[in-house]
């Protein structure tokens, strides 16, 4: 089967650092943290009190007020990011057959705040207290469905749910749908909005969140550092427009880079703990390289999952070594979650955007707060300050609860 080339022609984001791509990238390059004390609810009884909240978010910048009221926060994020990406690509003004355009978005949890309010009203007033739009607002597929409705996109439209790997797997699915001719254009990426009383409480009970840095939130996400104690919940969206190369060239589209390969695997090991040997993530990385037809030595930068949990970081390091061999010690690696927090279902979209901008500008983002490296994490994690470099190809990976692993390879576009 013919493999068509796939490029990225539009980007959009709302995240803890900024509400657009340009300001987000400036913050990333500067090593700025978007993590602060939680303001969405009272955290007095919570062991973890910090998060990467999207600050001062006004959905009416991107949609009508009446429309926004019918949408959960995660869907509002998806529409905001999609509006930016569609405008960035020029496709908001047409230029593609709607029947050849799809929407494939990743999400981990759905409309938690809607679910919580529905249950609250059920307890207070019984069934009559539950709002009519509760189900349409809370379910995960409403994210991609609302994007498709807004732009009249008639091709495949679905949600990918693989926990923290959701957005990466959505992008990989969109990439293959275009590569093998099902569609020509895809709105893809992911979104999440789980900074709610129930969401934070649930992750605290798993002992997954940081609890030691409540007084210094900007220091709380510290991937690969010996003093890390858990991840920091984030929220937001990262949206990409993927397009078949000839389709993009024919309309004179701006091209950020080419999607070269995608790999996915399952640990088949444990619901919340990764494979202790790192074999699952290593397979995903190897298969992404194989899909791209590339050697490990051709990857010039690796955007790690890097959650800042005691378990993830050394196991991800082990997996990188297994997949890349000796090149693992020569390849710069960073975790931008040190700045954005962990956007869960949106993380892979955000990190794909960062990877593409790193490729475009020849700049490797830093891992901030890496003050005291864990001895088991002995690779080049670009601590504190980013660096200029000639980048030809980058890999971004995501690892999720349930043992889901996804890896994407992006490379500089060359005709």
Q: What is the pLDDT of residue 254?
A: 97
Q: What is the pLDDT of residue 380?
A: 98
- Does one domain contain both 55 and 184? yes
Phi first, then psi, for residue 39 (nearest 5°) are: -115, -10
Q: What is the pLDDT of residue 272?
A: 78
- Does one domain contain both 50 and 175? yes
- Does one domain contain both 237 and 322? no
Q: What is the pLDDT of residue 214?
A: 98
1 inside domain: no
Q: What is the pLDDT of residue 270?
A: 85
Closest CA to 357 of 93, 10, 60: 10
79 inside domain: yes
Identified catalytic residue from 247, 305, 377, 404: 305
- Expressed in angstroms, the distance from the first to the final Cα of the chain is 21
- Does one domain contain both 300 and 175? no
- Does one domain contain both 176 and 274? no
Average pLDDT over residues 309-317: 96
Identified catalytic residue from 164, 247, 377, 404: 164
Closest CA to 222 of 29, 30, 35: 35
256 inside domain: no
411 inside domain: no
The Cα–Cα gap between 88 and 203 comes to 36
Q: What is the pLDDT of residue 275?
A: 83
- Does one domain contain both 97 and 196? yes
The Cα–Cα gap between 345 and 107 comes to 4
342 is catalytic: yes
141 inside domain: yes
Q: What is the pLDDT of residue 276?
A: 86
Q: What is the pLDDT of residue 273?
A: 79
The Cα–Cα gap between 113 and 31 comes to 31
Q: What is the pLDDT of residue 184?
A: 98
The upper half-sphere exposure of residue 76, i.e. CA atoms within 13 Å in the direction of its Cβ, equals 24
Of 250, 281, 299, the residue at which a domain comes to its end is 250
247 is catalytic: no
Instruction: Find the range with the poorest average confidence among 99-103, 168-172, 299-303, 400-404.
Output: 400-404
Is pLDDT at 206 greater than 80 in this prediction? yes
Residue 136's CATH number: 3.40.47.10
The Cα–Cα gap between 248 and 131 comes to 44
Residue 334: which H helix or E strand, with range? strand 333-334
- Does one domain contain both 227 and 278? no
pLDDT over 90, % of the chain: 97
| Count of structural domains within the chain | 2
The residues facing 14 across adjacent strands are 237
* Residue pair 183/144 in contact by the 8 Å Cβ criterion: no
Q: What is the pLDDT of residue 258?
A: 98
Is pLDDT at 1 greater than 80 in this prediction? no
164 is catalytic: yes
CA angle 304, 296, 341 (to 5 degrees): 5
Closest CA to 379 of 310, 262, 301: 301
- Does one domain contain both 207 and 270? no
The Cα–Cα gap between 165 and 162 comes to 5
- Does one domain contain both 34 and 62? yes
- Does one domain contain both 205 and 79? yes
User: What is the span of the domain harbouring residue 382?
Assistant: 264-404
The Cα–Cα gap between 165 and 402 comes to 10
CA angle 185, 166, 203 (to 5 degrees): 155
Distance of CA 257 to the CA centre of its chain: 17
Closest CA to 229 of 297, 168, 311: 311
The Cα–Cα gap between 323 and 80 comes to 36
DSSP per residue, 372-390: SB-TT--S---BSS-EE--
Q: Which two tokens stand for residue 374?
A: 């864990």
258 inside domain: no
The upper half-sphere exposure of residue 174, i.e. CA atoms within 13 Å in the direction of its Cβ, equals 38
Confidence class for position 415, pLDDT limits 50, 70, 90: confident
The residues facing 12 across adjacent strands are 239
Residue 258: which H helix or E strand, with range? strand 257-266
Of 221, 250, 279, the residue at which a domain comes to its end is 250
Q: Which two tokens stand for residue 240?
A: 């990409």
The Cα–Cα gap between 321 and 153 comes to 42
Summary mean pLDDT of the chain: 97
- Does one domain contain both 213 and 189? yes
Closest CA to 223 of 304, 166, 291, 146: 304
Q: What is the pLDDT of residue 152?
A: 98
pTM of the shown model: 0.98
The Cα–Cα gap between 108 and 260 comes to 25
255 inside domain: no
Identified catalytic residue from 19, 247, 342, 404: 342
Of 220, 250, 280, the residue at which a domain comes to its end is 250
- Does one domain contain both 123 and 204? yes
pLDDT digits (tens, 9 = 90+) for 358-395: 999 999 999 999 999 999 999 999 999 999 999 999 99
For the chain, the farthest-separated pair of C-alpha atoms sits apart, in whole angstroms, at 63
The Cα–Cα gap between 177 and 198 comes to 36
Is pLDDT at 89 greater than 80 in this prediction? yes
349 inside domain: yes
* Residue pair 144/104 in contact by the 8 Å Cβ criterion: yes
Average pLDDT over residues 77-90: 98
pLDDT digits (tens, 9 = 90+) for 125-177: 999 999 999 999 999 999 999 999 999 999 999 999 999 999 999 999 999 99
Average pLDDT over residues 172-201: 98
């Amino acid at each position: 089967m013919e493999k068509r080339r796939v490029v990225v022609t539009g980007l959009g984001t709302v995240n803890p650092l900024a509400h657009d791509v340009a300001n987000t990238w400036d913050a990333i390059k500067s090593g700025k943290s978007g993590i602060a004390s939680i303001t969405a609810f009272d955290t007095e009884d919570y062991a973890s009190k910090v998060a990467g909240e999207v600050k001062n978010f006004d959905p009416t910048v991107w949609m009508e007020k009446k429309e926004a009221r019918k949408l959960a926060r995660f869907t509002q994020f998806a529409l905001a990011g999609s509006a930016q990406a569609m405008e960035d690509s020029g496709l908001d003004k047409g230029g593609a057959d709607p029947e050849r355009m799809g929407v494939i978005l990743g999400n981990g949890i759905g409309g938690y705040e809607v679910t919580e309010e529905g249950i609250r009203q059920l307890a207070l007033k019984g069934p009559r207290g539950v709002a009519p739009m509760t189900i349409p607002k809370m379910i995960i597929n409403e994210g991609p469905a609302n994007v498709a409705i807004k732009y009249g996109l008639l091709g495949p439209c679905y949600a990918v749910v693989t926990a923290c790997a959701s957005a990466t797997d959505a992008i990989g699915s969109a990439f293959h749908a275009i590569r093998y001719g099902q569609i020509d254009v895809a709105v893809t990426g992911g979104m999440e909005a789980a900074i709610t009383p129930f969401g934070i409480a649930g992750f605290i009970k798993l002992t997954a969140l940081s609890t030691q840095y409540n007084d210094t939130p900007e220091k709380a996400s510290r991937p690969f550092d010996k003093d890390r104690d858990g991840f920091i919940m984030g929220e937001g969206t990262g949206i990409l427009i993927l397009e078949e190369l000839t389709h993009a060239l024919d309309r004179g589209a701006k091209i950020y880079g080419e999607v070269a390969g995608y790999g996915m695997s399952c640990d088949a090991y444990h619901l919340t703990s990764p494979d202790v040997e790192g074999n699952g993530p290593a397979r995903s990385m190897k298969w992404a390289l194989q899909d791209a037809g590339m050697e490990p030595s051709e990857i010039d930068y690796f955007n790690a999952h890097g959650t800042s949990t005691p378990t993830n970081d050394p196991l991800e390091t082990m997996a990188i070594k297994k997949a890349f061999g000796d090149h693992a010690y020569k390849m710069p690696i960073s975790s931008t979650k040190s700045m954005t927090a962990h956007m869960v279902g949106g993380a892979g979209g955000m990190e794909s955007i960062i990877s593409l901008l790193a490729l475009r500008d020849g700049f490797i983002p830093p891992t901030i707060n890496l003050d005291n490296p864990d001895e088991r994490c002995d690779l080049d994690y670009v601590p504190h300050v980013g660096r200029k470099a000639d980048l030809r190809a980058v890999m971004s990976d995501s690892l999720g609860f349930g043992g889901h692993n996804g890896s994407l390879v992006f490379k500089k576009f060359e005709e």
